[in-house]
A = this chain, B = another copy of it.
Amino acid sequence: MSIKTANQTTLERLTEGQPVLVDCRPAAQAVGLAERTVLHAGPPLAWERACATVQSAICCAIRYEGWAPDDATAADLVQNGDVRIGPCHHQAAVGPMTGIVTPSMPVFVVENRVHGNRAHVTINEGLGKVLRFGANDDAVIERLRWLAREAGPILGAAIRTAGGIDLRALMAQALRMGDDMHQRNVAASALLARRLLGPLARTGADPGALGRVADFLGANDQFFLNLAMAAGKALTDPCRGMADSTLVVAMTRNGTDFGIRVAGLGDRWFTAPVEMPQGLYFPGFTAADANPDMGDSAIVETIGLGAFAMAASPSVVRFVGAGGFADAVR
Contact = CB atoms under 8 A, between A and B. Distances in A.
Interface of A: 173, 176-178, 186-187, 189-191, 193-204, 207-208, 210-215, 217-218, 314-315
A114 B142 CA distance: 41
A208 B201 CA distance: 8
A295 B100 CA distance: 54
A215 to B, nearest CB: 4
Contacts of A217: 194, 197
A200 B202 contact: no
Contacts of A197: 193, 196-197, 200, 214-215, 217-218
B198 A218 contact: yes
A90 B207 CA distance: 40
Given A197-B200, A204-B207, 6 more contacts: A177-B178, A193-B193, A194-B194, A194-B217, A197-B217, A200-B201
B177 A198 contact: no
Query: Which 10 residue pairs spanning A and B have beta carbons closest together?
Result: A201-B210, A193-B194, A198-B215, A197-B214, A190-B190, A198-B214, A202-B211, A204-B207, A201-B211, A201-B214
Nearest to A203: B207
A208 B208 CA distance: 17
Contacts of A195: 218
Nearest to A223: B194
A211 to B, nearest CB: 4
Nearest to A213: B201
Given A177-B178, A178-B177, A187-B190, A202 B207 contact: yes
A67 to B, nearest CB: 34
Contact of A198 (B173, B199, B202, B211): B211
A195 B218 CA distance: 6
Contacts of A202: 207-208, 210-211
Contact of A190 (B191, B199, B201): B191
A316 to B, nearest CB: 12
Contacts of A208: 202
A187 B208 CA distance: 27
